[in-house]
Amino acid sequence: MKKYIVLAAILLAGCESLSALQSSEMGSLNSCMMTEAQTRLTNGTLFTSGVMATAKDISQGCIKKLALQKAGLDETALSSATAIINSLKAAQ
């Protein structure tokens, strides 16, 4: 019986940790989506497609962005994109 109580306590602690992690992840996702929506609103591009298409684009973009940030690729991608743009600009 004592083993089951210990096992239940471990499982509950794991669930609480997972719940906190999910809350943190969802907060990051919501923040990203709010920033993207505000940027599009400012640029006048928020309402160029339907609401569902725009929502899908924003949510998928943020999911990919956050996944790449975790992998440490966001800074590398920014550097690479800057180099590509500068090369194209110089070629004009």
**Residue 22 CA neighbour count, 13 Å, CB half:** 6
**Residue 10 structural domain:** 2-91
pLDDT tens, N- to C-terminus, the chain (92 residues): 554 454 444 544 544 444 554 567 888 888 888 999 999 889 998 888 888 888 999 988 998 988 888 887 777 777 777 787 788 788 87
Q: pLDDT value at position 69? A: 82
Q: How many domains does the chain have?
A: 1
Q: How far is it, in rounded angstroms, from Cα 41 to Cα 45? A: 6
Q: How far is it, in rounded angstroms, from Cα 77 to Cα 85? A: 12
Q: pLDDT value at position 80? A: 76
